[in-house]
Amino acid sequence: MKSPVPRFRDVERQAGSLQPTQCVPPCHDRPNTMWFIRDACGIVCGVITWMLVFFAEFVVLFVMLLPSKNLTYSLVNGTIFNSLAFLALASHFRAMCTDPGAVPKGNATKEYIESLQLKPGQVVYKCPKCCSIKPDRAHHCSVCKRCIRKMDHHCPWVNNCVGENNQKYFVLFTMYIALISLHSLVMVVFHFLYCFEDDWTKCSSFSPPATVILLILLCFEGLLFLIFTSVMFGTQVHSICTDETGIERLKGEVPTWEKIPCWEAMKLAFGGPLSLSWFSPFSDLSCRTNDSASIPEAPQGEIIEEDVIEIPLR
């Protein structure tokens, strides 16, 4: 039944998206299938990200480290840079291919609402775009075409939304990219100083003009991404500590949920107490205690037409 209750949730509307015929019965997502968004812009941005990391890898190895006469310097810096670059790309892959917390599509059925065992008078909201019952703090993403739990934003650089299930990997991605950017900038400075003191023809296997151009490009790339990823890393940690996503802060939503302390929020986002697994993109969020993993399977049925459903009083 329709309800005059004010709509505090963001039920996005478009002219053609409110037709019930566009809502299909729920097709249950397999929990172990890989998540991948088929968005041309996101795919291009993801490929560019990997190409930029490989370009930095090329310049660091073949322009600065391999021609160096100091074997210890080359081994130490090569190990550090390659390890951080590997962790950055692994974090990017996990952020891109992990379900960010998508709500089951098309579960706005009478049977599903009854299975929730809600209290009389309680109000639930249906997303008119993906025809799903929107949990608290879920928002619809027009690129992913799904409602995402605790959606922070959609990032084209990882071709995915940043939500409750992959925020850890996005934070690690920005952190490791910032670290390799800073490391490459330091090595560029030392290499310039070394080449100024020595003969330019001996400090690199490339010609002096090519060496200068490659180092300047790497310096520009490192500086740009150091600033960008550092800002993103800071905003993500701030969002976690304040228990408020970027889209909630942007829309000025009044918190209706009970906020948790910063350290508890960090443990929830990274999957448990502080340990080395916090910094590993290969560890899953198995220690989480939220209800995202206990969503009941939606029974088959016809999609409800109303966007606001109030449980009738008995």
What are the catalytic residues? 155
Q: Is the separation of the CB atoms in 143 and 154 below 8 Å?
A: yes
Q: Is the separation of the CB atoms in 121 and 311 below 8 Å?
A: yes
**What are the phi and psi torsion angles at 312 (to 5°)?**
-65, 145
Q: Is the separation of the CB atoms in 233 and 182 below 8 Å?
A: no
Q: Is the separation of the CB atoms in 46 and 96 below 8 Å?
A: yes
Q: What is the DSSP string of 184-220?
A: HHHHHHHHHHHHHHS-TTTS-SS-HHHHHHHHHHHHH
Given its phi and psi angles, is residue 243 left (phi above 0), alpha (psi -120 to 50 degrees) or beta? Answer: left
Beta pairing partners, 309: 124
Contacts of 3 (CB under 8 A, 6+ apart): 123, 308, 309, 310
